[in-house]
Amino acid sequence: MVLLSPPPGAKGAGVNSLHLVIRNALVATASDTFPCDIGIRDGRIALLGAGLPAGDREIDARGRTVTPGGVDAHCHLDQPMDGPARMADDFITGTRSAACGGTTTVIPFAAQAKGQSLAAAVQDYHARAEGKAAVDYAFHLIVSDPTPRVLAQELPALIARGYTSFKVYMTYDDLKLDDGQMLDVLDVARQHGAMAMVHAENADCIAWLTKRLEAAGRTAPRWHAQARPMLVEREATHRAIALSQLVDVPILIVHVSGREAIEQIRWARAQGLQVFAETCPQYLFLTAEDLGIDDSYHGARCICSPPPRDKGNQEVIWNGLADGLFTVFSSDHAPFTYEGEHGKKPGGEEVAFRHIPNGIPGLETRLPLLYSEGVLGGRITLQKFVELTATNPAKAYGLHPGKGTIAVGSDADLVVWDERELVLRNEQLHHAVDYTPYAGMRLKAWPGLTLSRGEVVWDGQSFTGRAGHGRFLPCGQPSLLPRRA
């Protein structure tokens, strides 16, 4: 437990007094680890140093590691869906869950439906978030219908207003773009300095394989992985890289699952191309066997796209995290319940894999999993952990240095780590999903305290934040991209 106490001999608040001092922290940034007190005023870090003056309130970190609050740059909350599927987490439950797992900034997606104006999608998404978030949030856009008006007017206007990143899909019938559309959208990213995120899987290969599997009666959840083998990801990754090269614009390939896509990204980097990459916990901790080794429906819980691969590919992903191949580590939290009518059993029925909503929950477990298995497991340094989970996502999407670091002037978004053994259970999580794919895993750490702009939102036992504390963050130009004049 972290002690919250008035400081000895506190004099009361003056205009320049510190509102909160975190004493005896072992501060970790993407570049250094150093012992330090952290002085906070008006929600921002005002002073860093030894022996800071007394604050109105004090927390003794007792030498524990303090990292920047996590920035989860890929999560889905209350995203409008067709049909019976409905996301279990809205901005209330999703951001509460984020806070309890040490994440203090989330970037979900304002998704354009085909035929819809992009501006209308953004307006609708603001209405879904307004007054509900417990931590700060920004929006990526999803561009699914790049009409001439969207390309010439809406997208540039939204980029100028702080929506500086967007995702495009090469698969899913309701979202996918063809190559010509991808080129048009990438060209807008180049002209206006936005970050383009790409979901790289070959839609036609998946459709062809799915038809063949269904014709053979192979419809159980485990066949989802067979319908999306690594080559469909490899081919689309290669094509996305080629399209970005043609347009001469950087891209970020999201949720990279294994060796074949990684080989394409390494090849692109060797050519000097700016290709960034993201991976997610499911590719470190799950395999295709979690989708089932027989025809039972249970594996529907782990259906996501691209699917988890095998142990060998998990090792390749770990290596990519350690050696700089990956820029960001996100959850891709896509929350659907297992039971009920709106999740993995649409209409309450066990259905063929192609009809099972894709995605797994992970907002709350992203940081503890990587800290436990990566940092304490000796696979990545503490600096790499901070870079992947906070600093780089803030830079990639134009939120740094306000977010993603511990520095004077940055928001006081902080995590104090408790290094203790625990066995993960869904009951201890704060999302609205009825399972976690990581149940039963033994972890070595969990956030003991999370602060969002100087407010304690998780005290190690309970959620102590409030819906409405979280603010919308307009994003600046991604600082991983070359500066625009």
Beta carbon of residue 361, minimum distance to ligand URP (angstroms, whole number): 11
Beta carbon of residue 105, minimum distance to Zn ion (angstroms, whole number): 17
List the structure tokens of 351.
Answer: 């259905």
Q: Which residues contact 472 (CB under 8 A, 6 or more apart)?
A: 126, 129, 136, 137, 138, 139
Q: Which is nearer to Zn ion, 146 or 335 (CB)?
A: 335
104: closest CA among 69, 73, 150? 69
CA atoms of 443 and 383, how far apart (whole Å): 20
Calculate ∠ Cα 478-480-482, nearest 5°.
90
List the structure tokens of 317.
Answer: 């992903």
Beta carbon of residue 305, minimum distance to ligand URP (angstroms, whole number): 4
Q: Which is nearer to Zn ion, 268 or 280 (CB)?
A: 280
Residues at the site binding ligand URP, with contacts judged by CB under 6 A: 76, 199, 255, 304-305, 332, 334, 358-359
Calculate ∠ Cα 99-103-109, nearest 5°.
105
Containing 99, the helix (H) or strand (E) segment is helix 91-100
CA atoms of 479 and 465, how far apart (whole Å): 30
Q: Which is nearer to ligand URP, 57 or 199 (CB)?
A: 199
Stretch that binds Zn ion, among 46-54, 194-202, 392-400, 466-474 (CB under 5 A): 194-202
Beta carbon of residue 239, minimum distance to Zn ion (angstroms, whole number): 16
CA atoms of 409 and 101, how far apart (whole Å): 24
CA atoms of 365 and 432, how far apart (whole Å): 14
Q: What's the distance, CA 402 to chain centroid? A: 18
304 binds, among Zn ion, ligand URP, none (CB under 5 to 8 A by kind): ligand URP
Beta carbon of residue 343, minimum distance to ligand URP (angstroms, whole number): 13
393 binds, among Zn ion, ligand URP, none (CB under 5 to 8 A by kind): none
DSSP sequence for 185-218: HHHHHHHHTPEEEEE---HHHHHHHHHHHHHTT-
Interface with Zn ion, residue 199, by CB under 5 A: yes
Beta carbon of residue 359, minimum distance to ligand URP (angstroms, whole number): 3
- The angle that helices 230-247 and 259-270 make with each other, rounded to 10 degrees, is 20
Strand partners, 251: 196, 275
CA atoms of 380 and 374, how far apart (whole Å): 5
Beta carbon of residue 456, minimum distance to ligand URP (angstroms, whole number): 31
CA atoms of 400 and 288, how far apart (whole Å): 36
Q: Which is nearer to ligand URP, 261 or 375 (CB)?
A: 261
Cβ neighbours of 3 (radius 10 Å): 10
Q: Which is nearer to ligand URP, 189 or 198 (CB)?
A: 198
Task: Map the footprint of Zn ion across residues 420-449, applying CB under 5 A.
Answer: none
Beta carbon of residue 265, minimum distance to Zn ion (angstroms, whole number): 16
Beta carbon of residue 420, minimum distance to ligand URP (angstroms, whole number): 31
304: closest CA among 269, 326, 279? 279
Stretch that binds Zn ion, among 195-203, 231-239, 314-322, 402-410 (CB under 5 A): 195-203
Beta carbon of residue 109, minimum distance to ligand URP (angstroms, whole number): 8
Q: Which is nearer to ligand URP, 72 or 332 (CB)?
A: 332
Calculate ∠ Cα 273-277-281, nearest 5°.
165
358 binds, among Zn ion, ligand URP, none (CB under 5 to 8 A by kind): ligand URP
Q: Which of 72, 233, 290, 332 binds Zn ion (CB under 5 A)?
A: 332
Beta carbon of residue 13, minimum distance to ligand URP (angstroms, whole number): 46
Q: What's the distance, CA 289 to chain centroid? A: 24
Q: Which residues contact 384 (CB under 8 A, 6 or more apart)?
A: 321, 322, 374
Q: Which is nearer to Zn ion, 136 or 332 (CB)?
A: 332
* Tokens 């009518």 found at: 341
Contacts with Zn ion by CB under 5 A: the residue count is 2
Q: Which is nearer to Zn ion, 199 or 344 (CB)?
A: 199
342 binds, among Zn ion, ligand URP, none (CB under 5 to 8 A by kind): none
Beta carbon of residue 255, minimum distance to ligand URP (angstroms, whole number): 6
408: closest CA among 5, 3, 52, 12? 52
- Per-residue mark of binding to Zn ion, 142-181 (x: CB under 5 A): ----------------------------------------
List the structure tokens of 264.
Answer: 């394409």
Stretch that binds Zn ion, among 260-268, 327-335, 340-348, 381-389 (CB under 5 A): 327-335
CA atoms of 223 and 253, how far apart (whole Å): 24
Q: Which is nearer to ligand URP, 44 or 255 (CB)?
A: 255
Q: Long-range contacts of range 90-93, CB-CB < 8 Å, 24 or more positions apart?
A: 90/128, 90/132, 90/432, 91/128, 91/129, 91/132, 91/133, 91/137, 91/467, 91/470, 92/132, 92/133, 92/134, 92/467, 93/430, 93/431, 93/432
Stretch that binds Zn ion, among 174-182, 209-217, 331-339, 421-429 (CB under 5 A): 331-339
Q: Which is nearer to ligand URP, 38 or 328 (CB)?
A: 328
Which residues are at the interface with Zn ion (CB under 5 A)?
199, 332
